[in-house]
Structure 1
Amino acid sequence: MVSPQSRRVLSALRNALAVSALLLAGMAQAQTGPIRLLVGFPPGGGTDVIARTLAEKLKDQLGSTVIVENRAGAGGQIAAQALKAAPADGTTFFLSHDHTVSILPLVTKNPGFDPAKDFVAVAGFATFVNALAVSGGTPARSVNDYVAWVRGQGAGKGTVGVPAPASVPEFLVKLIGEKYKLDLQAAPYRGSAPMMADMLGNQIGAGVGSVPDFIENHKAGKIRVVAVLGGARQAALPDVPTFAELGLAGFEDVPYYGVFAPSGTPKAAIERFSEAVAKVIAMPDVRDRLTAMGLTVGYMPPQQLASREHAYAQTWARIIKASGFQAQ
């Protein structure tokens, strides 16, 4: 016979279990809701393609629809500000390369966000290199050809597209001009897609951007990548020399791609998304596609990505200061 006290204990236990079941059901429902993956550049560019490649697979790992949301403009600044303003509940993430997170705060007086305070690292998944590419309308097949072509245009003046103002590519244009004694002017675009459109239309003779920005049209013969940065030639472009081989050394610390979340996002949500990224980039089809785009695929857990971002920002802070550039 069950005593009244035991019945009260059992009743309390049943109530507790019922409440727990409701909480777990609510958590499961929240986890299956849509997840926003912010991208700071227009559709069709390298970063957008990368984001959509991952999002397609992440939905299966997370059990949630992953919606790529393009917040293009200002070199990713608009998307970064949107991330800062987003609720820190595990439903909003930001896929970005180095420019927005590491470089913008160095070249902009009031970017509207502080990565150290407003963001938390989630997962790094690849590194890449920047490159110089020439338009199909130029006769150049090498850097030396391009230098000769610019000099032939009159007084060694040339315009080179870059995907964002005050970006690493813009600083590289200046350094390339100094090395080859050319008067090169950077023409900033709102992302790689419009820059590429002008290169394909021969509206601009050359561009500096990431290998993923150029690789597809290079392989199609519509443009030509003539040199890459980094310490070694790229697997996707084995015949293209590095700038170090050509005498422009000092840029071996390659940029990165990573995912970030608003500061205050629960640790469990960060770990869950980070683990999902690790599983997705380990899939052969995803790895092959990203590698073909010119990325070096490799998982970085949150702390490693945070450390890499900090070190990369410090490296470029020194370069930018030495260049005399003043934050705008």
Structure 2
Amino acid sequence: MNRFLQLGLLTCFCLFCSLATAYPYKPITIIVPQAPGGTNDIVGRVVAQRLGEQIKASVVVENKPGAGGNIGTQFVANAPKDGHTLLMTISSAQAINPALYKNPGFDPVNDFIPLAMVGSVPNVLVVNANFPAKNLDDFLKLVKSKPPETYQFASAGNGTLNHLLGEMLNQSYGISLQHIPYKGVAPALNDLLGGQIQIAFASLPSVLQYINTQKLVALGVSSSRRSPLLPEVPSISEKIPGFSGTLWIGLFAPKGTPKPVIDKLQKEMQLTLTNPELREKLQATGVELANMTPAEFAKQLQEDITRWAKIVKASGASLD
């Protein structure tokens, strides 16, 4: 009996090793559940190229946008559990959508295994160049002194991170900016630049060029510390303790993927993210590289799901 047990354990060990050494045996597809050209798409393509070089395999990015990221995310949740279909997603899709949609079509925790947090992107509270307040202190004093809904803020749509950051600002500072949802970042920025609306939260990569050319004024960043790309712009938490909300970007595999494959992907991603050229490219776009283990990433996801669920409920935002 002991001999049979030993043979069984040896067989399992050999299978375990063969899975790790044989993988990948075909191209790896990273699904980005947002449209081409966005922050997640840009990051996904930079990471895919370097991961392919690291793992010595073909790694391609495929965009599957729709329903705020739900379509692509659900696709990966239902994909074969062999490590050849992965998900590069953002916190607004993975941590906010489960509270925003009645049925997003996936479970953010039970359907996925975190492989690596790539980094985070702060949002910036920006105003049109003609807005009377030019710094965060003056902005907060001004909006506090006016009747409710005197000023409006733009977002890329109901339930998006920049919408919820505006609601968080309302709740945490006792003000009442009126929310004006747009159908995407581009039309919101067009009206902000044109003066039809004066206030918005927007991801740093999407507005950095306008801040540098003084077409928009940056008042504060949503991260807990200042951005190296905008060192003179304060973190909003410096004025409103506890205010924090960044857009993180992370890589996931569908739950059920064999552990040897998960272990290999986690190891290869760790090495990929230490590449100096990759780090330089990502930091130039405004991405702050993460220094987080997969276990810490999983904990961060759980905490974000809980935190954003409260904010979504308080905002009254809901999508079908």
- Please give the range of the TM-score, normalised by the shorter of the 2 chains: 0.7 to 0.9
1:84–1:238 CA distance, 2 compared to 1 (3 A): same
Choose 118-127 or 136-145, whichever is displaced more: 136-145
Residue 123 of structure 1 aligns to a residue whose secondary structure is strand
Q: Matched residues, percent identical?
A: 29
Does residue 213 of structure 1 match 2:213?
A: no
Q: Deviations over 1:181-206 (max 9, x none)?
A: 4442131434x455445545666544
| In the alignment, structure 1 residue 283 sits paired with structure 2 residue 280 | no
CA distance in structure 1 between the partners assigned to 2:315 and 2:128 by the alignment: 30
1:31 pairs with 7, 24, 31, which one?
24
Give CA-to-partner distance per residue, 1:203-231, whole Å, 9 cap, x none: 65443133233334433544333211232
Contact 2:48–2:59 (CA<8 Å) still a contact in 1? yes
* Counterparts of residues 26-175 of structure 1 (less than 5 Å): 28=22, 31-135=24-128, 141-143=134-136, 156-175=149-168
Q: Does the 8 A contact of 2:158 with 2:317 survive in 1?
A: no
Q: Unmatched 5+ residue regions in structure 1?
A: 1-19
Q: Per the alignment, in what secondary structure is the counterpart of residue 129 of structure 1?
A: strand
In the comparison of the two structures, how many residue pairs are matched?
301
Residues 1:137 and 1:277: Cα distance change in structure 2 (over 3 Å)? farther
The correspondence for 1:296, drawn from 288, 300, 306, is 288
Q: Rg: which structure is higher?
A: 1
Partner of 2:244 in structure 1? 252
Q: TM-score, normalised by structure 1?
A: 0.78
Q: Equivalent residue for 1:13?
A: none
Name the SS of the counterpart of 2:110 in structure 1. Answer: helix
Equivalent position to 2:305, from 300, 309, 313: 313
Cα displacement string for residues 107-154 of structure 1 (whole angstroms, at most 9, x for unaligned residues)? 211111111221111111213322212346767643467679989xx9
> 1:308: how far off?
1.3
Are residues 235 and 78 of structure 1, via their aligned partners in 2, closer, same or farther at CA, if it must alter by over 3 Å?
A: same
Residues 284-324 of structure 1: per-residue CA shift (max 9 Å, x gap): 12112222322221243322211111122122233344x16
Query: CA separation in 1, counterparts of 2:88 and 2:200?
Result: 23
Q: Secondary structure at the match of 1:285?
A: helix
176, 181, 190: which one pairs with 1:187?
Answer: 181
Verify the 8 A CA contact 1:159 1:187 in the aligned structure 2.
Answer: no
Letter in 2 for 1:77: N
For the structure 1 residues 56 and 326, does the alpha-carbon distance in structure 2 shift closer, same or farther, using more than 3 Å as the test?
A: closer
In 2 relative to 1, CA 200–64 (structure 1 residues): closer, same or farther, beyond 3 Å? farther
Corresponding position: 1:226 with 2:225: no
Letter in 1 for 2:122: V
What does the per-residue CA deviation read over 1:58-105, in whole Å, with 9 as the maximum and x for residues that have no partner?
111122222111112222111111111211111111111211111111
Instruction: Find the counterpart in structure 2 of residue 325 from structure 1.
Output: 316
| Counterpart Cα distance in 2 of 1:285 and 1:295 | 14
Give the letter for the 1:235 counterpart. Answer: P
Structure 1 equivalent of residue 6 of structure 2:
none
> Quick check: 1:38–1:83 contact (8 Å CA) kept in 2?
yes
Q: Kindly indicate whether the alpha-carbon contact (under 8 Å) linking 1:97 and 1:257 is maintained by their aligned counterparts in 2.
A: yes
Structure 2: tracts of 5 or more residues without a match? 1-13
- Contact preservation (8 Å) 2:166, 2:177: no
Q: Say whether the 8 Å CA contact 1:162–1:188 is kept in structure 2.
A: yes
Determine the C-alpha separation between the residues in 1 that align with 2:316 and 2:287.
29
Please, what is the CA RMSD of the aligned residues?
3.3
The corresponding residue for 1:12 is none
For the Cα contact (< 8 Å) 1:161–1:189, is it kept in 2? Answer: no
Q: Is the 8 A contact 2:131 2:198 kept in 1?
A: yes
CA contact (8 A) 2:168 2:311 kept: no
Distance 1:217 1:73, change over 3 A: farther
The amino acid that maps onto 2:278 is V
Q: Give SS of 2:238's match.
A: coil
SS at match of 1:260: strand
